Amino acid sequence: MPTRPVLRGKPVRPGGDNGPVVIIDPVVDGNASPIIRPEPNYPGCGQGTGEVLLDYVVDPDGRVRDVKVVSATSSCFAQAAERATTRWQYRPEVVDGKPVRSGRLRVRLVFKPE
């Protein structure tokens, strides 16, 4: 699976040019900077368009932790979004020269089958 950075709000096609579309749209981005966001896969159990709103924190080593589903059109899309989010890597916020745990961040993922 590719692990290239994804730009804010830009659609990606994990299955290639003809594959499903996933839009990653940060709602609350905080001071942690995304380094790698592996592209989420459109779930096999998915039907139609799905949307998931997630909250999470970034720990001092840049890993996503404490992922919480705020809302989702189905548990199928929620599980796919959680799996993808926990593989993301960030440059953590730095305070007084030391990396620190972020406040809660929020992201919206939109899955489209086309």
Over residues 68-87, the pLDDT tens digits come to: 999 999 999 999 999 999 99
Domain ranges of the chain: 11-112
d(CA 60, CA 101): 5
3-state secondary structure of 112: strand
What are phi and psi for residue 36, nearest 5 degrees? -135, 130
Determine the residue type at 21: V
CATH superfamily of 11-112: TonB (3.30.2420.10)
Question: What is the pTM assigned to this prediction?
Answer: 0.75
DSSP for 2-42, please give it: ------TT-EE-TT-TTS-EEEEEEEE--S-EEEE-PPPPP
pLDDT category, 9, cuts 50, 70, 90?
Answer: very low
d(CA 15, CA 42): 8
